[in-house]
Structure 1
Amino acid sequence: MCGIVGTLNLTKDHPIEVPNLKRMLATIRHRGPDEFGIYTDAHVGLGNARLSIIDLSTGSQPIANEDETLWIVFNGEIFNYVELRPELEARGHRFRTTSDTEVIVHLYEDFGPDCLRHLNGQFAIAIWDKRRRELFLARDRLGIRPLYYTVTDGSLIFGSEIKALLATGRVRAEIDPTSLDQVFTFWSTLTPRTIFREIFEVPPGHYALAHDGQLTVRRYWGLSFPTAGEEDSRSEGEIAAELRELLIDAARIRLRADVPVGAYLSGGLDSSTITALIRNYTSNYLQTFSIAFSDPNFDERKYQERMADFLHTDHRRVECTHADVGHVFPDVIWHTETPILRTSPAPMFLLSQLVRENDIKVVLTGEGADEFLGGYNIFKEAKVRRFWARQPESKLRPALLRRLYPYVPQLSAGGGSYLEAFFRRGLTDITDPAYSHQIRWRNTARLKRLFSAEQRAAVTAPDPVAEFTATLDGDFARWSRLAQAQYIEISIFMSEYLLSSQGDRMLAAHSVEGRFPFLDHRLVEFCSRIPPYLKLRGLNEKYILKKSVSDLLPADVCQRAKRPYRAPIHHSFFPPKGVLPYVDELLSPAAVAAAGYFDPQAVARLVKKCRRGRLVSESDDMALAGVLSTQLVHRLFVEEFSVPTGDDLHPLKLCTG
């Protein structure tokens, strides 16, 4: 985990100033507080805020090749750097460090952008080619590490977080109405958009080349699935065995570090699998970390303790209360840099704080298993609804949905009848390419009733779903129904929310690096070829994973039905005693009207309902989180963004060319 920043003169000769780069780095110093580095010449400035994990003594950045014609700043880890280095040495390259960063610059020297195909890792990369006057920016295949950019007044400005761009004083934060409309449909913007006008992300699996005044963005990797019926035809046992071998190696290489490595342990199948692999196949001493909730509706501590005892890990736990969520929410939004419709990142913020307090810089987690192995209820819902659509008047078929949501009667009046009415919407639209997700998107989009007339009128693409489905290529229609649903979930929710707002940003807030064995690209490509019936066997999710690791885990953990990770919302912002001043201020009619995104009267009705705390629905909770987080984004980035000087960055390495 690090942070990178930079600026390049595309068509105008602006001064490349060290103080400007220092200000950019100062805004993201939480990503890498250990040391800082800057490279400048007449055309470009590069900066790095380093979290020292590999090659602690000589791995400081920026790093150059042998003749200093290529300079790199890098955020992330290349897990196969150990294997790549001797290959490069055999080709004549000379190394000054033992870092993974230097491996990248030599690979680029030989292969150019094709070097990315050699990398197994999570990364955001910037390489300046002095001879060609060309800047190369790249992001890992799945978007684990962020990378943002904008082009303004003849300059390309980039950084690991948007606040670094704003720190230049040349980029203004302005919430894009169309992007906000997307957030209130998908929970995130569609790549390459961000919430801010004219600020973009390098999409996952893409690189950008800036040369001769032009910026070109190209794809080097894309998620794909076989044609339905042409998946891996080997036996169940053979597939399970290869899955296990790939998982073992993915976990093994993600333990490479010159600092202690810990693991998150939620008590579910995915994190338990990763922890069990570490304990069974390595000699690593292991600290594990988990979140507990004071509210029993969200608490899973008994399963966490079960696994910690079973695997004999040194376990730590943070207990999260309603008040904790409300207290840290402004900090959470400072780091997400985008509105969110859930409070789930807040406990993750507290968890990474606990990790750092225990002097751990790196944790392995279980993200990716649900997406690539069919673990989410949304996949089951689509399967049941297609079955139900064959007999729309059946009373027995929709009853299967109740098995997925045993807690719904506690959340919504009506229980089973509520579920049936909810999932009946669009039931027979089975030819819709986004059938699996349409019902969720439509439900979320109902929150737009809170938008102001001005916000509605300013949206330039009023059908975000059509905008997304238009990007689906011809192969999509040939995939299995489960593969189609997985692709949508991975492309939007995982890359744009789970790995960002709930992942990288909450880890980086406390200078912690997350590593994700299930997102090893070898494993991802293997899982894409697994037949759907081995992922979702009836309504038994992640069937092949359970078969693959059943001997490593207690049966009750291995076979336990997945329960979604959730966090409290309205109780967190409207406590039974006292008030949260920032909530009352930002949701006041005056503040809502001044920001201009929402109808003050509609928000006032929502606030009144949530304050009473009776019959508050899931939709109300989403609306509250969405409105409050949007108001916070407006306050923190549009109205009151302040820029640190960066004069206290230490130690600071300065390089010139």
Structure 2
Amino acid sequence: MFYAFAGDTVVFGSEIKVLFDHPDVPREVDWVGGLAEQGLSNFSAMSTGPVNTWFRGVHKVAGGTVVTIDLATGRTDVHRYWQPGGPLADADAPSAAEYVTRYRELLWSSVEDSLMAEVELGLFLSGGVDSAAIAAIAAKLGQPMHTFTVAAQATVLNGDVGHARQVAEFLGIPNTVAALPSDAVPSPADWKHLLWLMETPLTGPEQYYKFSLYRVAKQLRPGMKATLLGSGADEFNGGYSDLLSMGGGWRRFEANIDRLAVARVVRPEFAPWLTQKAPLLLTLPALADDPRGVDSYADFLKWKWRDVQQYNCWHEDRNAAGSGVEARVPFLDRRLVDLSTSVPLSLREELLWDKRMARDAVRDVLPDPVTRREKKPFFNGRTAHFAHRLVVDALNRNGMALVEEALAGPRMADYVEGDALRRTVAALKAGRSPLHPQIPLRVVNLGLLDVLARGEREPFRPERVTLPAKSVDADRDAVDEALGGVEVRPTSVLAFGPGSRFARDEADGTWLLIKDLAVTHTVDEALAPGWVRFLRAVDGTRSVAELVEVAGIELDEVAEYLYLCVETGYLVLRPSLVGAAS
């Protein structure tokens, strides 16, 4: 719920755009507040302040609060009736086994509550443990649902689509895939429609994919009025611990979030110590100038609680509402959140490392490979290129039309150097910018929102957005055909593309992918020995099957790397053998 003051009038609504119908509500972006948002700059620090509404004079009713406004005086009172709690003392806490049992009971209860409906329900199935658990529990409760999975190159290569199909087959429930062709890029008009629906500059590939998923689901099942989602489990159950540890285990995870936590409260004169890559040498109490120090994990949970409101629930609500659907999120049942945040310090590693409590709680309804499946983000990691490419292509489309429209807005030039933005977007297209592509996208989005808010906008209608996705059966061949693009088969012969080669730096032994005389990627042989052997064997005559045999590996071990190199031109398929039958 959002609200704003217009003289002696309070204007409120479930969307920001409806507030602008009142002539006295400012129709402009809060540039200072927006650019200071951690989500725009990607600055490595925890944000725990109020949720950012992005627009001047617009306020949000925070989760777990009641806002009371005295219409006579304008006084605003905020009553907080709930917020995520803190860890219990060891003496008051259940055992690890009791935590798992209690989590299982509460999750079943939450899913059962979410299934209450007199209309058709659906489920978005990613193939991960969270959405799979909801599907399994719903089936056990006698309410199996039609499931939907988005298929883009990133979600195929990271295994989401295949695992979703396997989960659906295991549970005996239907699974439909919304397949986005490999060359799908939103037009400037389509992007602005989506952005205006989302009302947040954090709009990106995830929102575009999810919008396509909702549209396909509604076309296929027009009577579906609500969807269950697996969102929210990672934030409070250690779902990001492995990712943030960078492969270093729980202790490394704690050390890394120490840096994030103290960056927000560090004494200015000690700030340079945080730039050191080695372990922190100064104590947390000294860095924070507080003898109590910092409970970094508690601060991490506050950050994630804000993220849930600023990002997860925001875009899920807007996307669902845009298709006339209600989003239901069982893992955000406050009973589950309370339980997860109550885990004492002594049990955190045992229960929260890589989401162990949540995984163990569903072992009775899912096979082990599903409960053990590692988190597979497609905005970071090996398949991120495909999501990033959508961003870069959208920004460059039609002569950087989105960039130019944002820069032509009334205030963007006061804060953003236009030529630098153009050069950055062009460098991203050429593969020569180290900047994460979502940073310039979000800056452009902020400028576009400023333009859109000031114009006369008609109500959002989903059918106005071009839908390149189409529904297909969850069959590998059907998905591959719908995605299009170059198909790499075992019989395909590989060669290095023009200007590309693979070489070793004799100084430190690192292997280098070189394109046009520039080092673009490094490959650590200790971390990916099979991939190094595979690339070293590429000679323009061997097929993929032969290269895999020479490298002594399975194709699945390098499939993500392989498709990425083919997509980016580091490797090419011999023209006479493209699409050859396997």
TM-score between the two structures when normalised by the length of structure 2: 0.65
Is 1:494 aligned to 2:308, yes or no? yes
Give % identity.
24
Q: Check conservation: 1:264, 1:289, Cα contact below 8 A.
A: yes
AA aligned to 1:499 is C
SS at match of 2:363: helix
Written as runs of structure 1 = structure 2, the 5 A alignment for 1:269-308 is 269-280=129-140, 282-295=141-154, 296-297=156-157, 300-308=160-168
Shift of 1:224: 4.1
Distance 1:588 1:529, change over 3 A: closer
- In structure 2, how many angstroms separate the alpha carbons of the residues matched to 1:633 and 1:579? 18
AA aligned to 2:375 is K
- In structure 1, how many angstroms separate the alpha carbons of the residues matched to 2:226 and 2:253? 47
Q: Check conservation: 1:273, 1:549, Cα contact below 8 A.
A: yes
Shift of 1:321: 4.0
Question: Match of 1:549?
Answer: 362
SS at match of 1:334: helix
The partner residue of 1:361 within 213, 225, 246 is: 225
SS at match of 2:354: coil
Shift of 1:584: 2.7
Is 1:621 aligned to 2:437, yes or no? yes
Question: Match of 1:352?
Answer: 214
- In structure 2, how many angstroms separate the alpha carbons of the residues matched to 1:389 and 1:378? 7
Is 1:154 aligned to 2:8, yes or no? yes
Question: Match of 1:370?
Answer: 234
AA aligned to 1:634 is D
- In structure 2, how many angstroms separate the alpha carbons of the residues matched to 1:561 and 1:426? 27
- In structure 2, how many angstroms separate the alpha carbons of the residues matched to 1:375 and 1:190? 22
The partner residue of 1:181 within 35, 40, 47 is: 35
Is 1:424 aligned to 2:277, yes or no? yes
Q: Check conservation: 1:335, 1:509, Cα contact below 8 A.
A: yes
- In structure 1, how many angstroms separate the alpha carbons of the residues matched to 2:301 and 2:169? 34
For structure 2, the 5+ residue unaligned runs are: 257-273, 462-582
Question: Match of 1:99?
Answer: none
Question: Match of 1:170?
Answer: 24
For structure 1, the 5+ residue unaligned runs are: 1-146, 391-396, 399-420, 436-468, 647-657
Question: Match of 2:426?
Answer: 608
Q: Check conservation: 2:320, 2:327, Cα contact below 8 A.
A: yes
Question: Match of 2:562?
Answer: none
Shift of 1:343: 2.5
The partner residue of 1:267 within 116, 121, 127 is: 127
Question: Match of 2:199?
Answer: 337
Distance 1:353 1:234, change over 3 A: same
Question: Match of 2:544?
Answer: none
SS at match of 1:317: strand
Of stretches 350-359 and 154-163 in structure 1, the one that deviates more from structure 2 is 350-359
- In structure 1, how many angstroms separate the alpha carbons of the residues matched to 2:456 and 2:448? 11
AA aligned to 1:309 is E
The partner residue of 2:300 within 459, 477, 485 is: 485
SS at match of 1:564: coil
Distance 1:536 1:269, change over 3 A: farther
- In structure 2, how many angstroms separate the alpha carbons of the residues matched to 1:201 and 1:364? 24
The partner residue of 1:632 within 448, 455, 459 is: 448
RMSD: 3.8
Shift of 1:477: 6.2
Q: Check conservation: 1:193, 1:199, Cα contact below 8 A.
A: no
SS at match of 1:252: helix
Q: Check conservation: 1:325, 1:346, Cα contact below 8 A.
A: no
Q: Check conservation: 2:30, 2:56, Cα contact below 8 A.
A: yes
AA aligned to 1:373 is N
AA aligned to 1:313 is I
- In structure 1, how many angstroms separate the alpha carbons of the residues matched to 2:456 and 2:85? 43
AA aligned to 1:291 is V
- In structure 1, how many angstroms separate the alpha carbons of the residues matched to 2:320 and 2:34? 25
Written as runs of structure 1 = structure 2, the 5 A alignment for 1:77-156 is 147-156=1-10
The partner residue of 2:81 within 221, 228, 251 is: 221
Q: Can you list the C-alpha shifts for 1:293-352, whole angstroms capped at 9, x where unaligned?
A: 134555521111111111111111112345445344323211121212743211111111
Q: Can you list the C-alpha shifts for 1:256-304, whole angstroms capped at 9, x where unaligned?
A: 1110111111011111111111111x11141111111134555521111
**Number of aligned positions between the proteins:** 427
- In structure 2, how many angstroms separate the alpha carbons of the residues matched to 1:429 and 1:386? 20
- In structure 2, how many angstroms separate the alpha carbons of the residues matched to 1:629 and 1:247? 37
Q: Check conservation: 1:263, 1:363, Cα contact below 8 A.
A: yes
Q: Check conservation: 1:592, 1:598, Cα contact below 8 A.
A: no
Question: Match of 1:51?
Answer: none
SS at match of 2:364: helix
- In structure 1, how many angstroms separate the alpha carbons of the residues matched to 2:442 and 2:285? 27
AA aligned to 2:217 is V
- In structure 1, how many angstroms separate the alpha carbons of the residues matched to 2:48 and 2:65? 17
Distance 1:361 1:224, change over 3 A: closer
Q: Check conservation: 1:231, 1:529, Cα contact below 8 A.
A: no
Q: Check conservation: 1:389, 1:427, Cα contact below 8 A.
A: no
Shift of 1:606: 0.5
- In structure 2, how many angstroms separate the alpha carbons of the residues matched to 1:331 and 1:317? 24
SS at match of 2:186: helix
